[in-house]
């Protein structure tokens, strides 16, 4: 696992070179998918990736019982311990590389490496546990990386409208907030397009 992670992170220089040279096609762009534990990051990357996604899923054991809160996700048996990685071609000249972050606090030290070279981030939110996405919101606000908030409604969860979520999370008016389903490819694509558009508005260079 360590060698795979190191190889992916070593490719960031190549991704940045593609981003800065618009005369080359296609343009390779890095996007981060973040959020709380069990919010659907791995599901999102898997649903949309055109390649077999790299996943660093590990079985949850009794050792994490006092660390990981499973009250909101009682059926969860695995967890991401490093990252998820996938790729999607949105157009002939635009390829997105997706990096899903681990959600547990003990793995947050990896975020600085994972976001390096990214143009923006999708922050996934679960309306049953909205507070879980605050660390991601605070992180991207502090580092200045453009982001959007995508509410991933789970089966059986109460449905909320965008204005209600925006108010609950105190998301600024210029940050896009949308409702999506991480299991549905078209829904994920729409979210990614919203992020790319927002990133271009914020940092057109």
Query: pLDDT band at residue 178, thresholds of 50, 70 and 90?
Result: very high
Whether the per-residue pLDDT at 191 is higher than 70: the answer is yes
Q: Which domain holds residue 198?
A: 25-60+78-202
pLDDT at 22 over 80: no
Domain count of the chain? 1
In a domain, 95, yes or no: yes
Q: Tell me, what CATH number does 29's domain have?
A: 3.40.50.300
9: in domain? no
Q: Are 87 and 51 in contact (CB under 8 A)?
A: yes
Q: Does residue 128 register a pLDDT over 60?
A: yes
**pLDDT tens column, 26-47:** 688 999 999 988 899 999 999 9
pLDDT in tens, 144-167: 999 999 999 888 778 899 999 999
Residue 5 confidence (pLDDT): 47
Predicted confidence (pLDDT) per residue in 66-93, tens digit: 454 545 545 544 555 457 899 999 887 8
In a domain, 117, yes or no: yes
Q: What does the buried/exposed string (b/e) look like for 39-70 if buried means 16 or more CB atoms within 10 Å of the residue's CB? A: bbbbbbbbbbbeeebbbbeeeeeeeeeeebee
The yes-or-no verdict on residue 139 having pLDDT over 60 is yes
Domain contains 122: yes
**The pLDDT value given to residue 156:** 79
Is the predicted pLDDT of residue 137 greater than 80, yes or no?
A: yes
């Amino acid at each position: 696992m360590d060698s795979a992670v190191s190889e992916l992170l070593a490719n960031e220089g190549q991704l940045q070179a593609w981003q800065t040279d618009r005369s080359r096609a296609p343009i390779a762009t890095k996007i981060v998918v973040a959020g709380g534990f069990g919010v659907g990051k791995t599901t999102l990357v898997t649903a949309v990736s055109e390649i077999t996604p790299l996943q660093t899923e590990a079985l949850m054991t009794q050792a994490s019982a006092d660390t990981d809160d499973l009250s909101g996700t009682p059926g969860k048996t695995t967890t991401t311990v490093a990252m998820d990685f996938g790729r999607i071609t949105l157009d002939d000249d635009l390829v997105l590389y997706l990096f899903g972050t681990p959600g547990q606090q003990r793995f947050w030290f990896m975020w600085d490496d994972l976001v390096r070279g990214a143009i923006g981030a999708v922050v996934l939110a679960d309306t049953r546990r909205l507070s879980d996405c605050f660390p991601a919101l605070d992180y991207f606000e502090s580092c200045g990386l453009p982001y959007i908030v995508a509410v991933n409604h789970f089966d059986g969860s109460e449905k909320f409208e965008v204005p209600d979520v925006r108010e609950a999370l105190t998301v600024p008016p210029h940050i896009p907030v949308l409702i999506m389903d991480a299991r549905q490819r078209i829904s994920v694509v729409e979210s990614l397009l919203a992020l790319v558009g927002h990133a271009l508005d914020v940092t057109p260079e």
